[in-house]
Amino acid sequence: MNLARFTFAASRTCLWWFGLCLAVAVQKVPAQVVEIRAEISVCGTNLMRQPVKVSRWNYRPRCLVSTNMWLIEQQLGNSRTYLWFTGSNVVKYVQITKEPLSQDLQDVRRWLSQAPPPPGGRFPHLGTVLAHVFPKADGSPPHNMIPALPWIAFCSGSVLKRSERELPTPWEGGSYYSDGRFDKSCTYPDLFGLPSRVEFYTRESKLASVYEVHHSTNMFGINFPLEFSAIQGTERSMTRMSGKVTSIRKVAVFEVPAEVSNVLGPNPKPR
């Protein structure tokens, strides 16, 4: 028996089995899914009113983040909003959880008298559900997302990796990349690539908004912000926001509420 030929054949067999085991192991590695809860404080100043009007409020977003999906849940005013990036679309699901206050109704009636009525011509009352699907393959949120700070802090990594992108500003949600607007961003060098600082500029290269991380942590090999802030202003108003993470944990399943996932129907199509 040729010992050299036997040794060569045995080595090829070992390499084949090693490659097969490695491939199986790679296939079984689950995607990272992280749940983040935070508390965000907002201070808005209306510079057009005399005396200057200052409004303050807090809200507590919950985010699920993976390498190719994200979900943001937040209670704002009298509605609970879900934004879910499926990998190809963004589903926006809004449920009215409280009857609007009388002042809210007066403000809306005044607005309706000065502008075209919304679809249905009525202000949404308790129990109303509003749902829409946006074709967004890059994972950016709808332009009318208010506020966009949770998305920037926890979900923007995949978009920031693109050379051409549209980023919503932290408060008003308007795009500061299209039509000559742009951003300057610093990101963490890891799988999620979340930002440590983002500067938003106008067409005239004037600084319009800044997002910045003050404290961060590395968990599961990924950098997450722990404390962060943003400021955004115009000649008419100034908005300051500060956020603090209250919990970060790894979860086994990327779980989407049934009422949100059902928006896509049996054959998901953008609409």
Q: Going by C-beta distance under 8 Å and a sequence separation of 6 or more, which residues neighbour residue 151?
A: 70, 72, 83, 141, 145, 168
Each residue of 38-75: pLDDT tens digit? Answer: 999 999 898 887 888 888 989 999 999 998 899 999 98
Q: Which amino acid is at 180?
A: G
Q: How many helices (H) and strands (E) does the chain have?
A: 5, 12
How much is the pLDDT for 28?
A: 37
Each residue of 155-167: pLDDT tens digit? Answer: 999 999 988 887 8
CA distance 127 to 111: 22
Half-sphere exposure of 268 (CA within 13 A, CB side): 16
Write out the DSSP string of 80-103: EEEEEE-SSEEEEEEEE-SPPPHH
Helix (H, G, I), strand (E, B) or coil at 206: coil
Counting residues of the chain whose pLDDT is more than 70, the rounded percentage is 73
CA distance 70 to 6: 53
pTM: 0.77
